[in-house]
Amino acid sequence: MTGRSTTVAAPRRVLVGISGGIAAYKVCTVISSLAQAGIAVRVMLTQQGQAFISPLTVATLSRHPAYTDEAFWQATQGRPLHIELGEWAELLVIAPLSANTLGKLAQGLADNLLTNTVLASTCPVLLAPAMNTDMWQQQAVQRNWQLLLQDARYHAIDPGSGVLACDRIGAGRMAEPEAILTHMHSLLHTGGQRDLAGKHLLISTGSTREYLDPVRFIGNPASGKMGIALAQAALHRGATVTLVHGPVEASLKARLEGIQTIDVTTAEEMHRAMLTSLPQADWVVMAAAVADVKPATQASTKLAKADLPASLPLTQVPDIVADLAHQRQPHQRLIGFAAQTGDVIPPALDKLRRKGLDAIVANPIDLPGSGFGGDRNQAILLTKTGDPLTIPPCTKLNLAHQLWDALLRAGF
């Protein structure tokens, strides 16, 4: 009697390079998160990087011995270490990227394990610089940065601004671990391809609020996470992105680096922002959960409980999708979302045809691993032609990439 064999997918392989900088402590979160997600992670430290974080620390977090220049120069058997590591990696991440390592990479120089491994690899490289503001703003550093980014292998997370370890307030602060991890997951999905380069995507997300008085409104639980994931995935694939969003938490706004944003509250404000931004867009994605109605009147001061109406007269808000469909140009593509319960396909197909959409994403909000507010979702993509595509529960970022994959395959 023989047992049936099963095929287990090999883990993804990420190589992390740590150069000198106090921001190295942030990379511990990145390494630990990758390992806990089942991703095979290996870590290299430059001599300067070891001054800020120990090989033992990253070895413990990655579940694998760390690599240092000592191991590189003392290798006496087998294939050269930098060749083995360069061929092993699917993605190479350098965080923090110091001014010194940046200069070496820009000029194609290699004098340690990290820089030799970069030159011995062909995978995408994600760069997260970190340095003092004056260092970052030096003409020589900016020249090296721009020169390096001309190479399609390199993908960048620009440093942010804030209070630095030197007490300076300004640019140079390394991106937060969440942003680095998100970009890494995108690059693992795409292999570094920028297949949305040259496209401008206009995306709406979140809920709208229709106020009865300054403290009460008609709304819904939409968090904006799905639209933000769509915007991040598109940005990582090379697109220019404009995101029109309703009220979202401050922690979510931190995910919008590199994305042009327009902050709105009501359906009328979102209607105006979407139509104003429409002429520049190639793809328009209505992922927002827009209110269907609003109170017929809005009080300028808070209504006392005794003054609340027994019944609430309502009036219609603008039909944003219908107006976008009416005003778009022939080359523009319009994709809608339909949050539904029960059998999601019939109402989504009806909306697809009735609104003049090119595609619609039917989102079952009454199933586990789906719906408003969570970090995971599932969907069925419907187009005018072609079979429905069912995307099982996954992270919203992964769902976004699968939607972009499908739309590109469909010739959008």
Cα separations in angstroms, 192 against 126, 129, 184, 328: 9, 19, 10, 31
Answer yes or no: are the C-beta atoms of 214 and 293 closer than 8 Å. no
CA nearest to 404, candidates 267, 233, 167: 233
Is 287:230 a contact under the CB 8 Å cutoff? yes
Q: How distant, in Å, are the alpha carbons of 207, 231, 284, 363, 395 from that of 379?
A: 19, 17, 18, 5, 11
Q: Which two tokens stand for residue 106?
A: 């820009």
The residues with which 190 forms a beta bridge, in sequence order, are none
Which of 277, 289, 265 has the alpha carbon at shortest distance from 206?
289
Contact 389, 406 (CB under 8 A): yes
Task: Please give the positions annotated as active site.
Answer: 166
Which tokens is 333 given? Answer: 């593509």
Could you tell me the CA-to-CA distances from 14 to 75, 161, 184, 223, 345 in Å, in that order?
A: 22, 27, 9, 31, 39
Q: From CA 205, how far away is CA 227, in angstroms rounded?
A: 5
Kindly state the tokens that stand for 16. 């992390």
DSSP 227: H
Query: What does the block give as tokens for 38?
Result: 């089942």
404 in helix, strand or coil?
A: helix
- Residue 347 and residue 340 in contact, taking contact as beta carbons nearer than 8 Å: yes
Helix (H) or strand (E) run with residue 295 in it: strand 293-295
